[in-house]
Amino acid sequence: MNYAQLVVAVSDYCENSFPTVDMDIFIRQAEQRIYNTAQPANLRKNVTGTITSTNKYLSAPEDFLSVYSLAVYPQNTTTATGVAGAKSIVVASTTGIAVGQQVTGSGIGTNAQVRSISGTTIYLTVANATTISSSVTFQGDYLYLLNKDVNFIRSAYPLSAYVSEPKHYALFGPTVTGGVVTNELSFIVGPTPNATYVAELHYYYYPESIVTAGTTWLGDNFDSVLLYGTICEALVYMKGEADMIGLAQERYTQAIALYKNLGDGKQRGDAYRDGQVRVPVA
């Protein structure tokens, strides 16, 4: 069901024509209620950013609502040279490079890792595929940060001069740009980063409304919950009869149960680990 079909269906069910501005409000209110009842996988996003050395703050995306996870990992890029078939390269700088890190770049063998370091020579676990004379990237392991509150971060790491690999994070509050407080949130990590890290944020967000997108995952896959959610909003606006509002709410409750069964149930397990759903036979 797309936006145009939804508008027609709601008008037909309610036997009333609504101004576009009001209809759009009904739809957006229904979407907000639906998206806060269950969180299927399509409400998740992944973004990467950078936490720089000695800077403990990280800005959240503009559409951020809540965190699923926040991880950091070291990643350093430097120029390197190497011979095809050799299991070593010579780099311009070994800053941030450690044994066990994954190595990628033009000419680097598949799944290469750092085996050992001697001066500016890096010994690898696999041979170079071709001659190397370009930038090479070294990536360390993911480290998932533990969620705490700001008080914990301030108490556990009171001195910004104490720098190390980050272990905890907290939602700090609105960001400040040029002395102006914005509506966007930011994170604080602790301890203060001792190097530059790539941060990967897995978070919950509201997808674009069907009002502006025209078609959405919700409209394509769960049009019943969107339809009855919008009808409920429209009937309240119309000050409809109690029995009609109750009937619409009952149908919405049935539809949202199916939606929640998918988002909070089926998508968070599988038959191999949890077993198939069994219905007792009478």
For residues 82 and 282, which has the higher predicted lDDT (pLDDT)?
Answer: 82
- Per the CB < 8 A criterion, the answer to whether 127 and 86 are in contact is yes
Contact 51, 35 (CB under 8 A): no
> How distant is the alpha carbon of residue 273 from its chain centre?
25
Interstrand relation of 197-204 and 44-51 (parallel, antiparallel or unpaired): antiparallel
Residue 177 has a pLDDT of 62
pLDDT of residue 85: 94
Interval 101-139: pLDDT, tens: 999 999 999 999 999 999 999 999 999 999 999 999 999
Stated pTM of the model: 0.81
Among 30-34, 100-104, 151-155, 176-180, the least confident range: 176-180
The per-residue pLDDT for 172 is: 87
- Can you give the pLDDT at residue 96? 86
What confidence tens digit (pLDDT) does each residue in 168-184 have? 999 987 766 666 556 67
Write the CB contacts of 118 (distance below 8 Å, at least 6 apart in sequence). none
Q: What is the model's pLDDT at position 174?
A: 76
Report the mean per-residue pLDDT for the chain. 91
Q: Which of 23-27, 33-37, 68-72, 176-180 has the lowest mean pLDDT?
A: 176-180
For range 8-15, the mean pLDDT = 94
Q: What is the pLDDT of residue 247?
A: 93
Q: How confident is the model at residue 226 (pLDDT cuts 50, 70, 90)?
A: very high
- pLDDT of amino acid 181: 57
Specify the pLDDT at position 180.
59
Is the pLDDT assigned to residue 218 strictly greater than 90?
A: yes
Percent of the chain clearing pLDDT 90 (strictly above)? 75
